[in-house]
């Protein structure tokens, strides 16, 4: 019997830009903190066929509001290998 598989991954990065940003009225350099978290459930049906559901959350915290965002991606994938 094939088993349900789960995975959880994440990463964090800090991006400090060295030049003043054109969106900054004060002429300050942009600083971002980016966090990513992904979760995946997969169910192989045979060695060559399977189905998975995925969720990814990306959060960008910036010192310039125009670059702040939160993105959520939900997806379902089916696959056949040959």
Q: What is the pLDDT of residues 47-74, one digit of tens each?
A: 899 999 999 999 999 999 999 999 999 9
> How many of the other CB atoms lie within 10 Å of CB of 30?
19
Residue of 48, 68, 47, 46 lying closest to 59 (CA atoms): 68
> How many of the other CB atoms lie within 10 Å of CB of 6?
9
The pLDDT value recorded for residue 1 is 54
Under the phi-then-psi rule, with left for phi > 0, alpha for psi from -120 to 50, and beta for the rest, what region is 48?
alpha
Query: Which strand ranges, in their side-by-side order, compose the sheet holding 5-20?
Result: 5-20, 29-44, 49-62, 69-80
Take residue 42 and report the two structure tokens written for it: 């997969």
Q: Three-class SS of residue 47?
A: coil
pLDDT digits (tens, 9 = 90+) for 33-50: 999 999 999 999 888 999
pTM for the predicted model, two decimal places: 0.81
């Amino acid at each position: 019997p094939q088993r349900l598989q789960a995975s959880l991954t994440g990463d964090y990065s800090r991006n400090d830009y060295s030049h003043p940003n054109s969106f900054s009225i004060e002429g300050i350099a942009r600083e971002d903190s980016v966090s990513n978290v992904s979760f995946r459930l997969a169910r192989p049906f045979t060695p060559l066929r399977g189905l998975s559901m995925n969720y990814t959350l990306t959060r960008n915290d910036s010192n310039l509001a125009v670059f702040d965002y939160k993105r959520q991606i939900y997806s379902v994938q089916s696959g056949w290998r040959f």
